[in-house]
Structure 1
Amino acid sequence: MGKVYVVGTCDTKEAELLYARDMVRAAGVEAIVVDVGTREACDSADVPAVEVADFHPQGRKAVLGFDDRGAAVTAMSEALAAYLESREDIGCVLGMGGSGNTALVTAAMRRLPIGLPKLMVSTVASGNVSAYVGPNDIAMMYSVTDIAGINSISRKVIGNAAHAAAGMAKWQVPALANDRRGIGMTMFGVTTDCVNQLRAQLEDEYDCFVFHATGTGGQSMEKLADSRLVDGLIDTTTTEVCDFFVGGVFPCTEDRFGAVARTKLPYVGSAGALDMVNFGALETVPEKFRQRNLYVHNPQVTLMRTTPEENRKMGEWIAARLNACDGPVRFLLPLGGVSALDAPGKPFHDPEANEALFSAISETFQETPDRRLIKLPHHINDPEFAAALARNFREIAA
């Protein structure tokens, strides 16, 4: 059983943090208060702010003593992340605070592995919390009243959070004796046929985790890789790169493919749906794109065909990112088309744009014995292409 780390700013939330700690202890679980305040020292914390600040890469002077509260909070968040990553006895991280402390603590929580319990009691938890949670398993609990003293409402809310944290720390989810190795897979509606065939070929051997390539989906898959909760990736659908480059609503981040480089996990990728940028309803498409090749996928989603120049830039970027990966990598190019909309007679069939993409990848990709580029004449949704993805993964994951 690990400890519950109760994290907050003791200079403003001391009573609430100590109350939560005591409630956890009363539930039979060890708990400590970690102070991340940047203004005044607090003697009641089990881990004082100065001790956390020492974990900043540049030391405590980079965290404490700032007049600029924003800079101090940002630096303390970096220090807290390093501090928590150094602990080996965390059963749950319980954070409490307003918008500033929520940003501070959840940024550190996002650095922790998927599966390690994380609970944030926050004044902003009833709104859009995507910026705080990201692709992580952070549980957000709305505080109802401000976390500004113990009253009849905050006492109940904080007490419930403390009991939840104690329960997560005490009752860990056991692993199944017959757990299969896991594979992360990316899919979009226009590559569903490919991924369904791929799953059918591999699910007797592997636990297949499919992620919808909506920006957060790709980040979630790579977070699982960083957390070592998957044993490899079949990244069929890299379409989030389009939105990152062109300005669509489902972008990846600059760190796309970063987990592949860091973990060196077996990776098989492809160019799935690199023919499209995603926008909302047709009327939301930016004016500068209104004359482009647009396709209304449904009333809420409008797709835009990527151009040869956009494909060239994306191909160069993807290949450069993969060149930084030293683990086993196979990247398969479906020369017959990259999505259900990219085939003869379909609205996004554009051989010139595809050639720009494939050429840019081919010219930039640096092959090694472990890193190979494979060109196939098939469409991405052809059975032969799904079989090739499965075959290549088996070869490098053996």
Structure 2
Amino acid sequence: MKTIAILGTLDTKGEEHAFVAELIRQRGHETLLIDVGTLGDPTVAPDVPRADIIGDQQFADRGAAVAAMAEAAAEFCAKLVAEKKIDGIISLGGGGGTAIGTAVMRALPVGFPKLMVSTLAASESAPSYMGVKDVTMMPSIVDVAGLNCISRPIFANAAGAICGMVETARPVAEDNPVIVASMFGNTTDCVNHAKGILESAGYEVLVFHATGTGGRTMESLIETGLVAGVLDLTTTEWADEHVGGILGAGPARLEAAARNGVPAVIAPGCLDMVNFGEPDSVPAQFAGRNFYHHNPQVTLMRTSADECLALGKILAEKINLSEGFVKVLLPQGGISVTSQSGGPFHDRIADEALFASLKAGLRGDIRVEEFNCAINDPQFAEVAARALLDQLA
């Protein structure tokens, strides 16, 4: 038997949360009904009243109340998890409920069961609610506004889902030291080959897809102190961040390992490309540029020499923050599959601008090694893996 927290704005959505709580109890689990409402009195009796979370604070503005409740509830529930008083959490909500519920879930550890049934689950803003945590969002289809022929089966599925999560035993595995690595489709061969070498040396390698969210998630994991080393061979997110693509990872990308002194090996993988959606989604300002249609939903644009010059400076600035070991590797034969000789993005002038700018901007004590091969050649992957292993040894 497990204990599942049911967190909700019980002043406006008490009936719905009570319905889910009853279904969970029917499965043999205990429930902890937590009220995070900010308007009127709860319509059902909570196990944890809002006063236990936020005290007797009063707010004239609903937005301020939601923000304060989100912060306080996140702290409260994180403590419940740390004290092993709950084994999973579920919430149902519209705008305010989703803001509070997902703020709480983002404060909980990766791997802890968390499910948000939301009117915003299929919206463009869904990634911002999930952040870099494993928040599962389920579309409510209709508003969370009573029980009806649509909401009942949706809420029942949600209750079954969270029960399934807490009932599933975690596989027992040997905890090896962790290395994180960045990868894109155009650096897959390189990273997979390096991953095999690192795993053979006794490390667990976690690979993050460099899609913006992947880079942010990797940075956040490095910040936790759980990471022994970083193989950051796919720094492409900076191209999107700088030029205006859709897969930027934010201005702090490349800072976590540097500031925390975590050993890192870095390469400018896939900085030859900026990502957009379907062809019609590419901003008009880029008309006439060199494009490659990766698939119907992804349009790639070649970075120019000027953009590469700027990207080299940005990478150098971030790498210069390093307080521990860092090595930069430059594959002269191509920084992606598409930029190799004969590829659609092959542009020696742009690549040379990137390399020259990066080398010129780095601190004198940071080692740079150049190789007459492409990033996906086995030789490059082997050098990158060995360079990191030498430091970790």
- Report the TM-score, using the length of structure 2 for normalisation: 0.83
The Cα offsets for residues 163-197 of structure 1, whole Å up to 9 and x where unpaired, read as 43344334431322x45444332222332332232
Q: 1:146 aligns with which of 143, 153, 158?
A: 143
Which residue pairs with 1:194 in the alignment? 190
Tell me the alpha carbon deviations over residues 81-122 of structure 1, each in whole angstroms, 9 at most, x when there is no partner.
333333312411211112331133223323332211111122
Q: Which amino acid aligns with 2:116?
A: M
Moved more, 292-301 or 104-113: 292-301
Structure 1 residue 174 and structure 2 residue 171: aligned? yes
For these two proteins, the number of residue pairs brought into alignment is 386
Corresponding residue of 1:81: 74
Q: Residue in 1 aligned with 2:5?
A: 5
CA gap 1:44/1:282 in 2 versus in 1, 3 angstroms: closer
Mark the CA change 1:2 to 1:220 in structure 2 (over 3 Å): closer, same or farther: farther
Whole-angstrom CA distance in 1 between matches of 2:163 and 2:295: 45
Provide the residue aligned with 2:54 in structure 1. Answer: 53
1:93 paired to 2:89: yes
In the superposition, relative to structure 1, how do residues 165 and 257 fare at CA in structure 2: closer, same or farther (>3 Å)? same
Shift in Å, 1:345: 4.8
| Alpha-carbon distance between aligned partners in 2 of 1:214 and 1:142, rounded to the nearest angstrom | 23
The amino acid of 1:390's aligned partner reads A
Which residue is equivalent to 2:287? Answer: 290
User: Residues 212-244 of structure 1, C-alpha deviation per residue, up to 9 Å, x if partnerless?
Assistant: 322233234345545677653312111111011
Q: Which amino acid aligns with 1:396?
A: Q
* Equivalent of 1:321 in 318, 323, 331: 318
Cα 1:298–1:10 shift into 2, 3 Å: closer
Cα distance in 2 between the residues matched to 1:233 and 1:383: 19
User: What does the per-residue CA deviation read over 1:354-382, in whole Å, with 9 as the maximum and x for residues that have no partner?
Assistant: 343334433443466xxx44222333223
Instruction: Provide the C-alpha distance between the structure 1 equivalents of 2:214 and 2:284, rounded to a whole number of angstroms.
Output: 28
Whether the 8 Å CA contact 1:41–1:48 is kept in 2: the answer is no
Distance 1:298 1:326, change over 3 A: same
Query: Residue 114 of structure 2 corresponds to which residue in structure 1?
Result: 118
Deviations 1:323-371 (A, max 9, x none): 4444543332334432233344544343443343334433443466xxx
In the superposition, relative to structure 1, how do residues 272 and 286 fare at CA in structure 2: closer, same or farther (>3 Å)?
A: same
Summarize the Cα distance change of 1:230–1:175 in structure 2 as closer, same or farther, 3 Å threshold: farther
1:253 match = 250
1:103 maps to a residue whose letter is A
Instruction: Label 1:112 to 1:222 Cα distance change in 2 as closer, same or farther (>3 A).
Output: farther
Tell me which moved more, 87-96 or 134-143. Answer: 134-143
Please give the per-residue CA displacement for 1:1-59, whole angstroms capped at 9, x wherever unaligned: 763221111221123333433443454433322222222354933333344336xxxxx
One-letter amino acid matched to 1:10: L
The runs of 5 or more residues in structure 1 that have no matched partner are: 55-59
> Residue in 2 aligned with 1:394?
389
- The match for 1:57 is none
Partner SS state of residue 21, structure 1: helix
* Pairing 1:29–2:29 present: yes
C-alpha separation between the residues in 2 aligned to 1:66 and 1:333? 57
Amino acid across the alignment from 2:15: A
Contact 2:215 2:237 in 1 (8 A): yes
Which amino acid is 1:114 matched to?
Answer: V
Q: Which one of the candidate residues 367, 376, 380 is aligned to 1:381?
A: 376
Once the two structures are superposed, what CA deviation does each residue of 1:242-284 show, in whole Å capped at 9, x if it has no partner? 0111111222223323543576544322110112112234444
- Distance (Å, rounded) in 2 between the aligned partners of 1:265 and 1:3: 37
Corresponding residue for residue 272 of structure 1: 269
Instruction: Please give the alpha-carbon distance, in whole angstroms, between the structure 1 residues aligned to 2:262 and 2:172.
Output: 21
Summarize the Cα distance change of 1:275–1:3 in structure 2 as closer, same or farther, 3 Å threshold: same
1:273-316, Cα deviation, whole Å (9 max, x unpaired): 11211223444432221222333444543322222332233233
TM-score of the pair, normalised by structure 1: 0.82
Is 2:3–2:87's contact at 8 Å kept on the other side of the alignment?
Answer: yes
Counterpart AA for 2:79: S
Matched AA of 1:119 = L
- Equivalent residue number for residue 215 of structure 2: 218
Alignment of 1:228-243 (within 5 A): 231-243=228-240
Measure, in 1, the Cα distance between the counterparts of 2:320 and 2:2. 40
State whether residues 278 and 304 of structure 1, in contact with CA within 8 Å, keep that contact through their aligned partners in structure 2.
Answer: yes
Go from structure 1 to structure 2 and tell me whether the alpha carbon gap of 1:262 and 1:165 turns closer, same or farther (over 3 Å shift): farther
Give the whole-Å Cα distance in 1 for the aligned partners of 2:153 and 2:302: 53
One-letter code aligned to 2:314: W
The CA distance in 1 between the partners of 2:216 and 2:23, in whole Å, is 35
One-letter identity of the residue aligned with 2:108? L
Residue 51 to residue 319, structure 1, CA distance change in 2 (3 Å): farther
Tell me, in whole angstroms, the C-alpha distance in 1 between the residues paired with 2:278 and 2:191. Answer: 26
Amino acid at match of 2:368: I
Would you say the 8 A contact 1:223–1:259 is kept in 2?
Answer: yes
